[in-house]
Structure 1
Amino acid sequence: MNDQIAGLPYRPCVGIMLVNASGLVFVGKRIDNKEGDAWQMPQGGIDDGEDLHPAALRELAEETGVSPKLVTIIAESREEHFYDLPDELLGRLWGGKYRGQRQKWLLLRFAGEDADIRIDAHEHPEFNEWRWVEPDLLPDLIVPFKKRVYRQIVDEFRELI
């Protein structure tokens, strides 16, 4: 990594592990990934001055259409999790201002029905498909540069899922 990239900050972000009553986790298939199956949990940037919990609820609503009234926040990750973008994405994402993301993760319990999930609710959808999966499958579904973070999140929240 060159000094210019190493000097870039990490983008502040919130990640959401949304679990249903059966202990399964929501994942969406990214619309913008041309290389094949890239599934992920909802996540997104935290706006300047925005607190973590409101950011999580906003991102969840934007990406899944799920109303904040249908979720309960169960836990917050003990620490931030970091990942670096692969070389081919550096300079292309987020206007080239960041080297990767620093994420706080929240575990949310979903109390709604599948019909309450509307991945097409936002003007610019992130996902073109969604499904519920076993937590241990998550690292196998995500793009390689996020696998470590997904393993850490599954391990941290496992007992609460």
Structure 2
Amino acid sequence: MDSPDDFPEHRPNVGVVLFNAQGLVWQGHREGDPDPNLWQFPQGGVDDGEDLETAARRELAEETGVTSVSLLGRTDGWLAYDFPAGYQPHRKQSWRGQKQAWFAFRFEGEDDEVKLDQHHSIEFDAWRWGPLASAPDLVIPFKRAVYLQVAAAFSRFAA
């Protein structure tokens, strides 16, 4: 399914689309981003030897505080994007971009479970529920093609 040799110049990463009971998805505004119109899903790196679903659950908990979830599905293979020229992510290693495995989870808790300060590195300064179909238009442009693929793959969970 996911070969470690696929996209060798891209950082292994997981992304999470969290659906509520109404079929809306969790969207977070990146902490410190001056553009109030850019929103994204939780995502993060995979630790050496870490199972991808375990990484997705860990990243979701670290970035949102949410642990009351059930697995709905995941994308096949890696979805990759390149960093734009001049983009310097805060990483020790230089990567061309990120390769991602995406997971869809159903949120089974209450909204007050969301806590954006659960990790030493705060990722989001605001959050909301929104339609999945709008997510590709709200993310930073270099991630848009991946978000279109994710929205198509998980659209059945939004109904």
Q: TM-score, normalised by structure 2?
A: 0.90
Closer/same/farther in 2, CA of residues 32 and 86 from structure 1, 3 Å limit: farther
* Paired amino acid for 1:77: T
Q: Which residue of 1 aligns with 2:63?
A: 63
The alpha carbon displacement at 1:35 in A equals: 4.5
SS in 2 for 1:123: coil
* C-alpha contact 2:136 2:147 (8 A) present in aligned 1: yes
Q: 1:56 & 1:144 partners in 2: Cα distance?
A: 23
| Deviation (angstroms), 1:121 | 1.9
Instruction: Give the drift of 1:122.
Output: 1.7
Query: 1:3 is matched with which residue?
Result: none
Does 1:105 pair with 2:91?
no
**Number of the residue aligned with 1:150:** 147
Letter in 2 for 1:45: G
- % identity of equivalent residues: 43
Task: Tell whether the 8 Å contact from 2:32 to 2:125 is kept in structure 1 after alignment.
Answer: no
Structure 1: any 5+ residue segments left out of the alignment?
A: 1-6
Quote how far apart the aligned CAs of 1:78 are.
1.4
Q: Which structure shows the higher helix fraction?
A: 1
Quote the residue 2:83 is aligned against.
85
Mean alpha-carbon deviation: is it higher for 110-119 or for 33-42?
33-42
In 2, Cα distance between equivalents of 1:75 and 1:127? 24
**What is the deviation of 1:96?**
4.8
Give the residue type in structure 2 aligned to 1:129: A
Query: 8 Å contact 2:23–2:157 — kept in the other structure?
Result: no
Closer, same or farther in 2 for the Cα pair 1:105/1:121, shift >3 Å? same
SS at match of 1:94: coil
Alignment of 1:129 with 2:126, yes or no, is yes
Matched, 1:116 2:92: no
Deviation per residue, 1:65-121 (Å, 9 max, x gap): 012xx100110101210000011214x442352010000000000011110111122
Displacement after TM superposition at 1:32 (Å): 3.7
* Counterpart contact for 2:19–2:157, Cα < 8 Å: no
Letter of the 2:22 counterpart: S
* 4+ residue runs over 4 A deviation: none
- The number of residue pairs the alignment matches comes to 152
Counterpart AA for 1:135 = L
Structure 2: any 5+ residue segments left out of the alignment? 1-6
Match of 1:41 in 2: 41
Deviation at 1:124, TM superposition (A): 1.6
TM-score by length of 1: 0.89
Corresponding residue number in structure 2 for 1:4: none
